Amino acid sequence: MCGRFAVTLPPDAMAQLFNAIPANDLPDVPNFNVCPTTQIHVVHDLDGRRLVSMRWGFIPHWYKAPNDGPLLINARAETIAEKPAFRMACRERRCLIPTSGFYEWTKDEDGNRLPWYITRTDGEPLVMAGVWQDWERDGVAWRTCAIVTCGANAPMSRIHHRMPVILPSEDWAKWLGEAGHGAATLMQPAPEDALAFHRVSPRVNSNRASGPELIEPI
């Protein structure tokens, strides 16, 4: 799964990277501890490429309230086309979620959670595949999203058995639907040499922690 990440790229740089028009209500950056249910940066192509803010935590249309069911921060690639929550979004509402890197945890022999920070080996932004959904009830409206995950590649499997679907720039248009069909073929683990890993401070175990020291190696 992917349950926490960092974003350091300024919004104007993100907009330029994706050739997208930025919204005016984008979340503040840098944020070294992006948590579920907060607003995150997302690129969609509903009416041309747009860099917008969405709630991280997909809300299916039948939920009567945002907390009416499980918190859906991830969508499994293996079942995304079949699950009622994600089926239509997978076909019609795919998006890109730009990050600088994400966190995952192992445990030591005493059960202590040991955080790792995972980035691209080339230092470029790490762009995850996502799906999004509009939800509205009683005058309250949210635009929400989830990160698509797949089975881990061999290096990542030493930390966790799953990983986000990571899209190189040449696949962005296909995932967004701009380059025709074939998005399903992109839901694969990243190449084994694509990612770098390092241990970071247990401070990030708290969702209240902040600051650039969270991603520093220890």
Which residues are the active-site residues? 2, 104
Give the integer Cα–Cα distance in Å for 131 and 58. Answer: 8
Q: Among 102, 117, 100, which Cα is nearest to 202's?
A: 117
Give the integer Cα–Cα distance in Å for 166 and 119. Answer: 11
Give the integer Cα–Cα distance in Å for 63 and 197. Answer: 37
What is the helix (H) or strand (E) element at residue 140, kind and residue range? strand 140-151
Q: Where are the alpha helices (DSSP H) in 86-217?
A: 87-92, 154-157, 172-176
Long-range contacts of 133-139 (CB under 8 A, 24+ apart): 133/58, 133/59, 133/60, 133/61, 133/89, 133/93, 135/59, 135/60, 135/61, 135/63, 135/66, 137/63, 137/64, 137/65
Respond yes or no on whether the N-terminal peptide bond of residue 30 is cis (omega within 30° of 0): yes
Q: Taking CA 145 as the corner, what is the angle to CA 139 and CA 151, rounded to the nearest 5 degrees?
A: 155
